[in-house]
Amino acid sequence: MMSYLWLKAFHIVAVTAWMAGLFYLPRLFVYHRDSAPGSAVSETFKLMEDRLYRVIMMPAMIASWALGLGLAGLTGVLWAPQLWFLVKAVAVVGLTAFHFWLGDVGRRFRLDKRPHTERLFRLVNELPTGLLIVIVVMAVVKPI
């Protein structure tokens, strides 16, 4: 029981760090999109985005996955999945795809390209919130 609680505690910390990055990086892209390529402001955004992605988001995502799979293995739901777990897993895969899409957008910004519009970044900024709601409801309430 104690190992489960430790895994759960660190999983919550990792997910919180990952979600913070998923919320913040698109917001940085909104402002970066409006900066002039090669300007001091653009270079600052490149540095902020790269560090957020590589130093915070990537390790937090890896830890979230590893600890989450550990919890699923300990509880047995990994070996005999229930519908709530499958829905949660699909939402987590969606967050992961979003994470890697953000990484690709950041790479294009580092090349001084201006991918997408400010409006798109404002809209996609809401995507992790919707997926987070699904994940938390499935994990806590297990309605299906």
CB-facing half-sphere around the CA of 43: CA atoms within 13 A: 3
Q: What is the mean pLDDT of residues 68-77?
A: 94
- Tell me, rounded to whole angstroms, the distance of Cα 58 from its chain centroid: 9
DSSP 56: I
Q: What is the mean pLDDT of residues 20-41?
A: 95
To which residue do tokens 């709601």 refer? 133
**What is residue 125's three-state secondary structure?**
coil
pLDDT value, residue 81 = 84
Q: Is the pLDDT of residue 1 over 90?
A: no
pLDDT value, residue 7 = 96
Q: What is the mean pLDDT of residues 84-99?
A: 97
C-beta of residue 95 within 8 angstroms of C-beta of residue 131: yes
Q: What is the mean pLDDT of residues 2-14?
A: 94
Residue 115 vs residue 38, higher pLDDT? 38
Residue 50 vs residue 78, higher pLDDT? 50
Alpha carbons 93 and 114: distance in angstroms, whole number: 27
Q: How confident is the model at residue 115 (pLDDT cuts 50, 70, 90)?
A: confident
CB-facing half-sphere around the CA of 25: CA atoms within 13 A: 32
pLDDT value, residue 117 = 86
Alpha carbons 74 and 59: distance in angstroms, whole number: 22
**What is residue 79's three-state secondary structure?**
coil
- Tell me, rounded to whole angstroms, the distance of Cα 110 from its chain centroid: 20
The overall pTM is greater than 0.75: yes
